A and B are shown apart, each in its own frame.
Chain A
Amino acid sequence: MTGAVATLQALLAEGVDTIFGYPGGAIIPIYDALYDFKEQLNHVLVRHEQGGIHAAQGYARSSGKVGVVFATSGPGATNLVTGLADALIDSTPLVCITGQVFAHLLGTDAFQETDIINITTPITKWNYQVTNAEEIPEALAKAFYIARSGRPGPVLIDITKNAQQQKHDFAPYVPCTHIRSYRPVPIVRPEYIREAAAIINQAKRPFVLWGQGVILGKAEQEFKAFIEKSGIPAAWTILGAGALPTDHPLNVGMLGMHGNYGPNVLTNECDVLIAIGMRFDDRVTGRLDKYAKQAKVIHLDIDPTEIDKNVATTVPVWGDCKETLPLLTALVDAKLHPEWHERFRVHMEQEVDAVIREELFPTSEEMTMGEVIQQLNELTEGEAVIVTDVGQHQMVACRYAKLNKTRSNITSGGLGTMGFALPAAIGAKFGTPHRPVVAIIGDGGVQMTIQELGTIMQTGVDVKIIILNNRFLGMVRQWQELFNDRRYSFVDIASPDYVTVASGYGISGKRVEARAELKQSLQQMLEHPGSFLLEVMVSKENNIFPMVPQGCSVAEIRLR
């Protein structure tokens, strides 16, 4: 058996059903082998490797499985870099397989050779170069184990062409379950659980911040049980959205720079802050030296490097929150904290008056991004997977989208990668074919990976695309307005006729310029069999508020 066939056998043994990729000279042997595996392995031919890796991210995030990417050496491999960085910071499990030049050519600046191992070292959880076919099963077994275990992340395996071609008598594939030097899940220390529970039981104003760790740990039920028993108000980071349904009474909203007013202000008033599977990103904390200084901090995380990294903890609870949360729930007292909840409600009313009502139900003539999301909520009833790009529309969508189910919010959080949404939505649909997938993209981001309309055309995948067109790079423009004296430097971006572009790819589309057509057009989009592109012309200079200006405390959040 050749190394190429062994590679595909390993993927099958790991339960892979879908691969996103783009062939090239150095990975031809694997593609040649794939020709015979068409029935078992669905390969999605993307239009650019960046699209391939973002699609794999969307697939992984929507399905909870490992996303798999194929790319050739050199430019193919380097085009994966943005996606790898994105996946690492957002803890997305990926296995990327890149072709590499023949082993005897390594280091000679051969055609399409790049040192992809060294290029990707800081942006992978692990990477490895295979130069001999014999190494393939073990390398891939390790790759999958590392990608999906503990705090998940991207892994890159670079396979030289000779190793793909080389024949070898491979032993039956053995999945990896242990690596001597790798402890994916820290051992839970019961004394810390007891200490944390004691602090929570004494708290007058406890506050929970949750992140994607709840989703990655598949601990949504355990999380719900914990907050429902303890009665603690809980707010989410952008990647944590959806772990608890939007309408849950204990869900008090979004944290951070464009989060809700109450959760931000009250972070600096709570007496106990319980962070669950989140990493105190600077977009969440604002100025650290003024962040929750009054509170005792309990931090639950699977990754020990996150404990005390940005915010010093009173009690660290290392471990998988699926394991630690039930232990904690058993020890906390059942409470309701009505007065404390009232504080959040009052702040929410202020925010509704100052921002939300006008954003979702505008009295102005121009359409807002918020009302598009609001209408979408009514039509999808929170059942759709929402994939967002990066910018103002992302903040609006994440703030206002109704999410009933977990794994419904797919966005580029940590890296803020424009161009993420279109390919990620394609991947998300392959990951969860039974759920509607709606991509919400700005006019800037969509032009970064618009070529992936070709992938939709060829595969016939059903993705609903909403372009919220404000004819600006809106978020940068907002910053320039607020902090650079309205010096709108190169944010005025022109767009093609998206409906015509889509039709060139055989995708139906429609442009909406008037509010009267909005709901019916969204309905038409959702009911359309197959993909549909809806361009909505929204207000040109709308700003996203509330906002914690950079360098300010979360309590200094501005409603206007």
Chain B
Amino acid sequence: MSQQASIDRQEYNITAYTENQVGLLNRIAIIFSRRKINIESLNVSPSEIEGIHRFNIVINETEEVVGKLARQIEKQIEVLKVYYNTNADVIWQEMALYKVPTDVIAEKAIVERLLRENGARAVVIRKDYTVFETTGHREETDNLIRVLQPYGLIEFVRSARIAIIKASDGFNSKLREFERREPSTEPAENEYLNSRDKVFTM
């Protein structure tokens, strides 16, 4: 059975919409740690709705476990909604920064070509070093590390994953439905609703 479970495991992207509240990160993290589940990637950022934050959490698990975890997270008082998706159901990106000696870049044209081939962009150019950034899936950003290693890569950092769910039924409509059924008594909380057309103008 455990063998079957390991076969069924895959990367899941958990998306949680939450209030912006001190201590909530801990409350959510505990849900994973009490089951001894490792978080592969975690990103927290403000969402398109004022006062609401968005967690992107990546774990390697079976769907059964992820489904239960998602409900446990959604049960927390300050969590509005939780979704979970496989990699196929989301558009995801990670960002990476690479610091390399400027003299090498300047001297060796090949490095410049490699950077261009990998879609990297210079962020800062200083006398002693240059910082490039690239975004993409893990294997893409990993690839550039390998390429730059022989040219004196000084430092590398990669961000957590951010992911957008492909399905078109977004959270905004859900939240509007929540508010329609049980309107908030605090007008401040409804502010974004009054400007919801602007929120999604593209």
A180 close to B80 (CB less than 8 A) = yes
Q: Which residue of B lies closest to A138 (CB)?
A: B186
What is the minimal beta-carbon distance from A173 to any residue of chain B, in angstroms? Answer: 14
- Name the B residues within 8 Å of A182 (CB-CB): 77-78
**Beta-carbon contacts under 8 Å, A167-186 to B:** 177-183
Given that A305-B68, A305-B72, A309-B68 are contacting pairs, would A179 and B23 also be in contact in the complex, using a CB cutoff of 8 Å?
Answer: no
B72 close to A181 (CB less than 8 A) = no
What is the minimal beta-carbon distance from B60 to any residue of chain A, in angstroms? Answer: 21
B78 close to A178 (CB less than 8 A) = no
A303 at the interface (CB under 8 A from B): yes
B71 close to A178 (CB less than 8 A) = no
Given that A122-B34, A187-B181 are contacting pairs, would A179 and B80 also be in contact in the complex, using a CB cutoff of 8 Å?
Answer: no
Given that A178-B185, A181-B19 are contacting pairs, would A122 and B77 also be in contact in the complex, using a CB cutoff of 8 Å?
Answer: no
B147 at the interface (CB under 8 A from A): no
B58 at the interface (CB under 8 A from A): no
Given that A181-B19, A305-B75 are contacting pairs, would A121 and B27 also be in contact in the complex, using a CB cutoff of 8 Å?
Answer: yes
Given that A304-B71, A304-B75 are contacting pairs, would A181 and B184 also be in contact in the complex, using a CB cutoff of 8 Å?
Answer: no
Q: Mark A110-153, 1 if CB is under 8 A from B, else 0.
A: 00000001100110011101000000000000000010000000
Q: How many residues of B contact A (CB 8 A)?
A: 27
- Name the B residues within 8 Å of A118 (CB-CB): 23, 26
The answer for the CA separation of A122 and B28 in the assembled complex, in Å, is: 10
- Name the B residues within 8 Å of A117 (CB-CB): 23
Q: Which residue of B lies closest to A151 (CB)?
A: B75
Given that A118-B23, A121-B26, A121-B27 are contacting pairs, would A303 and B18 also be in contact in the complex, using a CB cutoff of 8 Å?
Answer: no
Does more than half of chain A's interface fall in helix, strand or loop, or is it mixed? mixed
What is the minimal beta-carbon distance from A420 to any residue of chain B, in angstroms? Answer: 23
A122 close to B30 (CB less than 8 A) = yes
- Name the A residues within 8 Å of B184 (CB-CB): 178, 180
- Name the A residues within 8 Å of B27 (CB-CB): 121-122
**Beta-carbon contacts under 8 Å, B1-60 to A:** 18-19, 22-23, 26-27, 30, 34
A121 close to B30 (CB less than 8 A) = yes
B182 close to A178 (CB less than 8 A) = yes
Q: Which residue of A lies closest to B29 (CB)?
A: A121
**Beta-carbon contacts under 8 Å, A324-341 to B:** none
What is the minimal beta-carbon distance from A444 to any residue of chain B, in angstroms? Answer: 28
Most buried by A among B77, B78, B178: B77
A121 close to B23 (CB less than 8 A) = yes
Given that A122-B30, A122-B34, A146-B77 are contacting pairs, would A181 and B18 also be in contact in the complex, using a CB cutoff of 8 Å?
Answer: yes
A181 close to B71 (CB less than 8 A) = no
Q: Which residue of B lies closest to A155 (CB)?
A: B77
Most buried by B among A117, A121, A303: A121
B189 at the interface (CB under 8 A from A): yes
Q: Mark B117-128, 1 if CB is under 8 A from A, else 0.
A: 000000000000
B79 at the interface (CB under 8 A from A): yes
- Name the B residues within 8 Å of A181 (CB-CB): 18-19, 77-80
What is the minimal beta-carbon distance from A279 to any residue of chain B, in angstroms? Answer: 13
From the candidates A121, A122, A127, A303, name the one contacting B75 in the complex (CB within 8 A): A303
The answer for the CA separation of A127 and B30 in the assembled complex, in Å, is: 14
The answer for the CA separation of A308 and B77 in the assembled complex, in Å, is: 21
The answer for the CA separation of A181 and B81 in the assembled complex, in Å, is: 8
What is the minimal beta-carbon distance from A477 to any residue of chain B, in angstroms? Answer: 31
Q: Which residue of B lies closest to A123 (CB)?
A: B30
- Name the A residues within 8 Å of B77 (CB-CB): 125-126, 146, 179, 181-182
A177 close to B18 (CB less than 8 A) = no
**Beta-carbon contacts under 8 Å, A266-306 to B:** 303-305
Chain A residues near B (Cβ < 8 Å): 117-118, 121-122, 125-127, 129, 146, 177-183, 187, 303-305, 308-309
| A-B contact list, 5 entries, CB within 8 Å | A118-B26, A129-B23, A177-B185, A303-B75, A305-B68
